[in-house]
Amino acid sequence: MEPRPWYTYILLSSDGHYVVSHTEDLERVEKNPRDGIPPGEVGMGAASYQLVFVEPARNKPAAVFREAQIRRLPGAKFRALIETRPYRRPDPEPEVPAPKAPPQAERRVWTREDVARLQAELTEYCHASTFEEQVIGRISGVLEQMRSAYRQQADLFDAAQIEQLKLWGHRMDLLTRFLELVEDFDLISDRADFNDAVTELKEIQSEFAGMKLEQRIAREMRALQQQLPRIQAQTRNKGLAAIERQAPKCKNNHPMTLRQGPDNWFWGCSKFPNCRETQELSEEQQIQLAQLNG
């Protein structure tokens, strides 16, 4: 059976502009042309569109462009170059075999001695090292083994061991947070953030009381304290800049600036000495300055 040529239709807007084209089986479209419109293509008010049917010249070699003969709805005038090629239904999709299930890992048999050994390792790592990244890696490995044992044989754990498992999961989170705080020390730029960091470090330190990790945390707290003068200066500069943004203007419409006298701060004209006008700070601004200098 000779393959049928494609049958192409073109959807035009009412002003004659090209909107979308689509190709369908000639026999199917000729039986019911409207069935050839794919769903959703004529969603913006079908009355404003015209449907133009373009039938390519028959019995021409593939990939030859010819001016097509047009059969159309009333009022449409359109000529187009349509690529002529035989109609061929797509080959069916090859069946893909279902993936084989991976072989199941051999189930380990845990004993109470295994649990006691892991518990001893956990204690050893946490009391013998001050390098927190190393501790995190070792604790993480031991905890994963203990959790695996608990999932498979929960009866091997007594109440105290279960609580220790929960406790060290929490301590792992604290160690991770400790690393984040230390990494962000240089980003702390005001006293409020400094106070928050110190509070968090003290809480973390209390969880590791009596362990060598406590010394590591204390060392980082001292390092943070050494940055306090820098942080205070940045806090003060930010506060002064915020007050400066509230500066009034003098009677000559010049912006005023903060000036420090022997006893107090005041607004002075930025054009001094050409303009010697001064103004007092508002009560709220005086409070803000007192807090910065306190």
Q: Tell me: the pLDDT tens digits for 114-165?
A: 888 888 888 787 776 666 677 778 888 888 888 888 888 888 888 888 888 8
Distance from C-alpha of 32 to C-alpha of 34, rounded to nearest angstrom: 6
Evaluate if pTM is beyond 0.75. Answer: no
The domain containing residue 251 runs over which residues?
247-293
**Does 163 lie in the same domain as 117?**
yes
At residue 223, does pLDDT exceed 90? yes
Average pLDDT value for the chain? 70
Instruction: For residue 109, name the pLDDT band (cuts at 50, 70, 90).
Output: confident
- Smallest Cα–Cα separation from 190: which of 243, 227, 245, 244? 227
Asked if residue 198 is part of any domain, the answer here is: yes
Residues 29 and 118 in one domain: no
At residue 133, what is the residue type?
E
The answer on 222 and 124 residing in a single domain is yes
Q: Where are the beta strands (DSSP E) in 124-216?
A: none
Beta strands 278-279 and 81-84: pairing type?
unpaired
Determine the residue type at 4.
R
Residue 182 scores a pLDDT above 80: yes
Task: Tell me, yes or no, whether 251 and 163 share the same domain.
Answer: no
Question: Quick check: is 99 in a domain?
Answer: no
Could you tell me if residue 258 is inside a domain? yes
How confident is the model over 19-42, as pLDDT tens digits?
Answer: 444 444 434 434 444 444 443 333
Closest CA to 122 of 158, 162, 164, 179: 164
For 45-71, the pLDDT digits (tens) are 333 334 444 444 443 333 322 333 333
95 belongs to a structural domain: no
* Pair 128, 205 in one domain: yes
Share of the chain above pLDDT 70, in %: 64
pLDDT higher than 50, residue 256: yes
pLDDT at residue 99 above 50?
Answer: yes
Same domain, 212 and 252: no
Of 241, 248, 282, 253, the residue nearest 265 (C-alpha): 282
Decide if 127 contacts 211 (C-beta within 8 A): yes
Is the domain of 27 the same as that of 59?
Answer: yes
End-to-end CA distance of the chain: 98
pLDDT for res 201: 95
In a shared domain, residues 211 and 119: yes
- Number of separate domains in the chain: 3
